[in-house]
Amino acid sequence: MDETRINTSLLQSSSYRLPDFKQSVKLKYVKLGYHYLITHAMYLFLTPLLGIIVAQLSTFSRQDFHELWDHLRFNLISVIICSALLVFLSTLYFLTRPRPVYLVNFACYKPEESRKCTRQIFMERSKLTGSFTDENLEFQRKILERSGLGEDTYLPEAVLNVPPNPCIAEARKEAETVMFGALDELFAKTNIKPKDVGILVVNCSLFNPTPSLSAMIVNHYKLRGNIISYNLGGMGCSAGLISIDLAKDLLQAHANSYALVVSMENITLNWYFGNNRSMLVSNCLFRMGGAAVLLSNKSSDRHRSKYQLVHTVRTHKGSDDKCFSCVTQEEDANGKVGVSLSKDLMGVAGDALKTNITTLGPLVLPMSEQLLFFATLVGRKVLKMKIKPYIPDFKLAFEHFCIHAGGRAVLDELEKNLQLSDWHMEPSRMTLYRFGNTSSSSLWYELAYTEGKGRIKKSDRIWQIAFGSGFKCNSAVWKALKTVNPAKEKNPWMDEIDNFPVPVPRVSAI
């Protein structure tokens, strides 16, 4: 009886309370409504205007139309001049506008099973080298346990051998295996002949032999003698997007051409055998991989291409000493060469990202987000209001995100700063888990994962973003030209795509 009275009194008292606005009205729907209103403001304005014009024309009599025709007939010179001006401006526009750049297809290299390196094998082989102290072996174990890498990443033969055999011959062997493996698959997918390729751009940051990697490709596939080839080195993990940007510019200058972009990193000669902890981190994260991309500016290739390149935005912070030195290849106190990662890396990456999206935002964000950003900026800077800076919702500009799988910490920071969901981060996290940090090619493994999951629909927008030494932050925006059917795809995920996503604990003990 007492419990019934208590419940009755609670119901009566609650009926006099004001409703909780946050519970009764979904604020996200209010924001979506605002976004829709601003985005379609022009159409909402023009539709009634068009209706008024049509209504006015409907009141014209046959005599009115005859008078209008007579007026135009007796002003023939004006009509001819206006028509000629219209034709001239239209011709000028079509001749001077940038050529569209299409991504016909791409391929990612999947190493053979014998190259697999579980985390336990990594620790065993690291111990067998005799190069690392017990304390630094334990340090590497802790890094691995928190890295987000799984048990199926790959390392080249020279690193897995006991003892390791890092030499130029083995490094060339790794480069050939990765590049030719990706290119063979790409040529099979696209059905183009190697001699049809007019532009070649290869990027590998730490391995730059003579003859170059691009020359190795020209020699292997017997590419034509007048091919325009470039070999980019020392530009870090974001060099893949730099290569795309370079290929885009070259395609603007050379009509009716194919451009081939090959992105990879070489592990064999860049494994660190010292005990400087800032250099040991790269051993734990970087793994074997590479990708090849075919671009075209031929209008006839549009129907068979997967994507169209919409924007590329490059940000370089190298003029700042702290940014310049946060990722450096150098010798340690004992003369061992490795790549040193500064403790300032995350702060530098955040600053570079901020600069990059400040440039990219106006190009891709809907007007609704730009107005909100501008309003908060005026409030903070001009009116001195104590309000938080508004972070634009990039989920309104893109359906898919390919964020360089450089490490778990980088992905965590970008997920938080860009307010992305687990679904948006899934391609990056699964790529890090399955293949590790494959440097500049990781973005293509992520896009391959998205395709394998059947997520790419026609007109979807994809944002690729990567960081690199120097320090650089680069972006590329693509638009899907077709819905990608995973049943018809061949990529390194397809044999096991149904096994993903998998949970990745914060710490996974070895």
Residues involved in catalysis: 237, 316, 400, 404, 437
CA-based nearest residue to 316, from 391, 264, 240, 238: 238
* Residue 127: C-alpha distances to residues 56, 96, 136, 461 (Å): 86, 61, 10, 46
CA pair distance 478, 456, nearest whole angstrom: 11
Residue 254 burial (10 A CB sphere; 0-12, 13-18, 19+): middle
CA-based nearest residue to 301, from 256, 252, 246, 247: 256
Cβ proximity of 320 and 489 under 8 Å: no
Q: Which tokens in the block code for residue 382?
A: 């001009």
Cβ proximity of 234 and 339 under 8 Å: no
Task: Count CB atoms within 10 A of the CB of residue 438.
Answer: 31
**What letter does residue 376 receive in the DSSP assignment?**
H
* Residue 338: C-alpha distances to residues 135, 171, 257 (Å): 19, 16, 39
Q: CB within 8 A of 509, min separation 6: which ones? A: 145
Q: Which helix (H) or strand (E) holds 293?
A: strand 290-296
Length of the chain: 510
Cβ proximity of 126 and 463 under 8 Å: no
Residue 506 burial (10 A CB sphere; 0-12, 13-18, 19+): exposed
